[in-house]
Amino acid sequence: MKGNFITSLALGALLLGLGACGGKGTAELSNAESKPAAEAAKAGIKKDAFGKTGDGEAVDIYTLTNANGMEARITNYGGIVVSLKTPDRNGKLDDVVLGCDTLDEYLKGHPFFGAIAGRYGNRIGKAKFKLNGAEYKLAVNNGENSLHGGRKGFDKYVWQAREVPAKEGVALELKHSSPDGDEGYPGKLEVTVVYTLTNDNALRIDYDATTDKDTVVNLTNHSYFNLAGQGSGDILNHQVQINADRFTPVDAGMIPTGDLRSVKGTPFDFTTPTAIGARVEADDEQLKFGKGYDHNFVLNGEAGTLRPAVKVTEPTTGRVMEVLTTEPGVQFYIGNYLAERPGKNGKTYNRRYGFCFETQHFPDSPNKPNFPSTVLKKDGRYQTTTVYKFSAQK
């Protein structure tokens, strides 16, 4: 089974070359979701106003449509993937990511729905690390730890946005400049993220960053997926396969112990297709610590090369999502802390209504010398790529 998984995803790679949500303005979304892909709008990018921040900054939303009618709506506030409409086995489009209908609801606070997490996606233990002999203290926002960049991470900024050429499909470029000392991190960091909606139904994300001082960086996207459609129920019947023989166990504070543990014989073995809910309630210390899956998997293959990471299948709609990445790891999170809240288009989200596959370097890497390094040197370049590719099986 593993061989078939890798072959299938590798072919895909070659072809590629916590507040409440909900609100008005959902009629257009509802109508669009009922259309088959063949009837969707022409390929291109459409820009619309999305509101203003509390400081009066104007925010836009960009609708990217590919040649097949697949659609991604992305806002330059936090680089959030607001919606992602993909066809099922009958060609019916539906939105497969959780989120909010309006900017105001995002501004009230949300669990990183669809956002760019940075400077450092995931956790840094005790909100501090040492680099070049100096200790850097970060914003504490997750117990005693720092999570997803701190109190005001990259998910809470308005990015500069523009359409850029794409070899196949359409692309949106986002830029952000993070000053030296931002949330405690050293160095001025210049960040570019390009979202490309390709004509083979993939959302490709290319991350690029430079710094004027040695620093650490770990960028990711925090989309919550439900391939049956956002707000349609829990995700426990989704079949998941992860190309990883090891994972990084954590302590009670969700900080990696530093070990690389085999998944064999544990509830973390997704080397063959397995329902998310099959073992999630097992009597396992790691699952108790995370209230379910919220762990980093050590991906097989060579980091730095675009390679198969994950395959997810939803049986009722036939939708399939394949994840390819250049990163060494991926965080598998299943919305264990989602509470009952309004979602998009009048839907309600509950616990485990969405899952995340956040491609990344490992959590707490700045404090774990045996983990792949997240240090970005002065005048060096940070470059990673992740692809979420969608299809449907009969």
Q: Catalytic residues, which ones? A: 222, 358
DSSP string, 145-169: BEETTSTT-GGGSBPEEEEE--SSS
Tokens of 133: 């002999």
DSSP labels, 51-108: EE-TT--EEEEEEEE-TT--EEEEESBTT-EEEEEEE-TTSBEEE-B---SSHHHHHH
| Residue 128 β-bridge partners | 137
Query: What is the per-residue DSSP string for 254-296?
Result: S-B-S--EE-TTSTT--SS-EEGGGSTTSS-HHHHHHTS-EEE
C-alpha atoms less than 13 angstroms from C-alpha of 220 in its C-beta half-sphere: 31
Closest CA to 187 of 393, 392, 376: 376
**Interatomic CA distance for residues 2 and 337, integer angstroms:** 31
Query: Which of 186, 362, 381 lies closest to 260, judged by CA?
Result: 362
**Between the CA of residue 13 and those of 168, 177, 385, 387, what are the distances in Å?**
14, 31, 11, 8
290-78-330 Cα angle (round to 5): 35
